[in-house]
Amino acid sequence: MSEPTATFLYAKDGYDTSRPRLMGRHAAGEGFLRGMIRHSGFDRLVALVPQPADAAAFQAQARDLGATMALEAVPEAELHRVSETGCLMLPGPGMAGLAWRRQRFGAAHFSLVGITHTTASHGAMDNIAELLTGPLRPWDALICTSAAVRASVTRLLEGEAAWLAERLGATRFVTPALPVIPLGVDVAALARDEAARADWRQRLGVGPADVVVLHHGRLSFHAKAHPLPMFLGLGRAAAAAPAGARVHLVLSGWFADEVQRGAFQAMAQALCPMLAIHHVDGRLPAVRQQIWSAADAFTLLSDNIQETFGLAPVEAMAAGLPVVATDWDGLRDTVEHRVTGFRIPTLMGGPMADLAARHEAALDSYDSYIGGAAQFTAVDVGATEDAFRALVADAGLRARMGEAGRQRAASLFDWSTVIGQYRALWAELAAIRGAAAPTPGESPRRADPARLFAEYPTRRLGPETRLRLAPGIADAAAAVARLMALVAIPGIAPRRELLPGEDSFRTALRVLDAGPASVAAIVAALPPARARRLARALAWLVKVDVLRMAEEEA
């Protein structure tokens, strides 16, 4: 066995999946610890712990996950001891504070390696921006879990650098490396269990010819994935299912509150009453382990800037399920379109600098900020329906895509591979370290999300973007009637106050009575302030399937 090449910061909060408010970062933390135990090759696993209670929790959790190597908990007050392993792995991007502490006894003592989870919060953005002013070195790294995240991190750093250049005349910036390394999964543990499949399908009342589509994760219309495109697309596919086949949607997750639960139920009843929908508590260990086996396909139509990677679709591929996911952030790296599933195009409206400004002033909460950005991010409903139709109708396609996904997960995302990438990074940083002696109009840290996250969507709504009325909507009057009916449904427009008034919609949509038109033409009749507000809201009209991209006619 080799000596350790990294210590990792362990606080129970970051690794605990038994908590009521289970988040993706907790599942990722537990997975990382399991991966280190099984695939690091270490004969000694070292954790830096902030509190004595964390030391006990680390020992207990590591043993529960099968650790047989020696375990050592180092108090955070003894940070200098990280030099014994050469690298400190952090569960987030907050590296500057530790870099300043490291400076006291020499920056070349060890490397700091952080990782991105959400990058949309004030805390995460501040941590990333501070990489420029903290004493980070070339032998440090911030792991980005997807190419889209690296682009947004780079954009944030560029904005901060521009401000420092203007304010201080700064010309030289030392930044950590920004490697792209995905999150990992335990592929073998997610293999289909036929006994679990039979048991769950019996419990759910699933017939032999029925098709089960699984959505696993936190159930939140403002902070995870708005369910409208899923309900519309899958509901329409269910209505066209082969004779004798019923389509079931299993929502495996948890609601933050009764408002969320009520909104999901209201939307389901209004948009897809024919769809058989089941809710199971995805926080329960038995559910998290077995529910994959009950399904025939998986979906996550993320539209949220809080998302950066999307672990559940990779878990689904490991379980042999075809995936219907959005062409969004890390999902663009993981799901191979038309091979392991379908990536559904997304469209982001903007600008949204007002959302960033209100959040900065504490006038809006973080949930309101990300919910507002999501409201102006559309998922292509037509493409969603087509993807679900194809999978519902063709068991052979489901099997081929599922097997391709399983192979892709095994080759790229199994923890054995991901830990190998970590080890290669640690070695590269050690080599670098060994050669060392002992005017934007907005705050770059609170950038317009439509600009900061520009690489997330398939395309961005611009003046030249051409739109048309969605199929079944005859004219502007029908479009306005449709959108007003939708707005009345709880959760359809969680930030309704950000939408233009009915008169603005009516004035602009009259342009489309004559056929497809550009965004510039649609908003031309409105005063400038109202035109800007209406222009981004056109993305919401695409989101709720009142409008479609004119290119879809091709």
Q: Is 335 in the same domain as 275?
A: yes
Total count of domains within the chain: 3
Q: What is the average per-residue pLDDT within 133-148?
A: 95
> 443: pLDDT confidence band, cut at 50, 70 and 90?
low
Q: What is the average per-residue pLDDT within 422-447?
A: 79
SS (H, E, C) 35-73: HHHHHCCECEEEEEECCHHHHHHHHHHHHHCCCCCEEEE
Instruction: Please indicate, yes or no, if residue 18 is contained in any of the structural domains.
Output: yes
Q: Is 305 in the same domain as 196?
A: yes
Distance of CA 235 to the CA centre of its chain: 24
Q: What is the average per-residue pLDDT within 243-258?
A: 94
Q: Is 254 in the same domain as 309?
A: yes
| Residue 554 scores a pLDDT above 80 | no
Distance of CA 322 to the CA centre of its chain: 18
Q: Is 220 in the same domain as 82?
A: no
pLDDT in tens, 111-128: 999 999 999 999 999 999
pLDDT in tens, 51-86: 999 999 999 999 999 999 999 999 999 999 999 999
pLDDT in tens, 504-537: 999 999 999 999 999 999 999 899 989 999 999 9
Instruction: Please indicate, yes or no, if residue 107 is contained in any of the structural domains.
Output: yes
pTM: 0.86
Q: What is the average per-residue pLDDT within 136-154?
A: 96
Paired sense of beta strands 377-379 and 346-348, if any: antiparallel
Q: Is 192 in the same domain as 290?
A: yes
Q: Is 54 in the same domain as 25?
A: yes
Q: What is the average per-residue pLDDT within 425-439?
A: 86
266 contact partners, CB below 8 Å, separation of at least 6: 489, 490, 491
Instruction: Decide if 119 contacts 154 (C-beta within 8 A).
Output: no
Dihedral (Cα; 71, 76, 77, 79), 10-degree rounding: 80
> 444: pLDDT confidence band, cut at 50, 70 and 90?
low
Q: What is the pLDDT of residue 27?
A: 83
CA distance 552 to 554: 5
Helix/strand/coil for 323: strand
> 242: pLDDT confidence band, cut at 50, 70 and 90?
very high
Instruction: Please indicate, yes or no, if residue 525 is contained in any of the structural domains.
Output: yes
Q: Is 207 in the same domain as 309?
A: yes
Q: What is the average per-residue pLDDT within 171-177?
A: 95
Could you identify the residue written with the tokens 């086949």?
245
* Domain CATH for 274: 3.40.50.2000
Query: Can you list the positions of beta strands (E) in 292-372?
Result: 297-300, 323-326, 341-344, 346-348
Q: What is the mean pLDDT of the chain?
A: 93
Q: What is the pLDDT of residue 24?
A: 73
Taken in order 96, 102, 106, 111, the sign of the CA dihedral is negative
Q: What is the pLDDT of residue 440?
A: 39
Instruction: Decide if 47 contacts 7 (C-beta within 8 A).
Output: yes
Output the six-digit token pair for 126.
Answer: 């501040």
Q: What is the pLDDT of residue 368?
A: 97
* Domain CATH for 173: 3.40.50
Q: What is the pLDDT of residue 211?
A: 98
Q: What is the pLDDT of residue 122?
A: 95
Q: What is the pLDDT of residue 451?
A: 86
Q: Is 229 in the same domain as 90?
A: no
Q: What is the average per-residue pLDDT within 266-273?
A: 96
Q: Is 116 in the same domain as 157?
A: yes
Range of the domain at 407: 188-343+384-413
Output the six-digit token pair for 506.
Answer: 């009516």
pLDDT in tens, 374-394: 999 999 999 999 999 999 999
Residues of the chain with pLDDT > 70, as a percent, come to 97
Instruction: Please indicate, yes or no, if residue 442 is contained in any of the structural domains.
Output: no
Report which of 53, 18, 141, 65 is spatially closest to residue 425, judged by C-alpha positions: 141
Q: Is 143 in the same domain as 246?
A: no
CA distance 162 to 301: 35
Instruction: Decide if 375 contacts 540 (C-beta within 8 A).
Output: yes
Q: Is 301 in the same domain as 283?
A: yes
| Residue 17 scores a pLDDT above 90 | no
Measured CA to CA in angstroms, residue 185 lies from 27, 31, 288, 415, 499 at distances of 10, 7, 13, 6, 40
Report which of 130, 180, 181, 177 is spatially closest to residue 433, judged by C-alpha positions: 177
Instruction: Decide if 192 contacts 320 (C-beta within 8 A).
Output: yes
Q: Is 204 in the same domain as 323?
A: yes
Q: What is the pLDDT of residue 22?
A: 67
Instruction: Please indicate, yes or no, if residue 362 is contained in any of the structural domains.
Output: no
Instruction: Please indicate, yes or no, if residue 214 is contained in any of the structural domains.
Output: yes
Instruction: Please indicate, yes or no, if residue 117 is contained in any of the structural domains.
Output: yes
Burial class (CB in 10 A: 0-12, 13-18, 19+), 168: exposed
Instruction: Please indicate, yes or no, if residue 25 is contained in any of the structural domains.
Output: yes
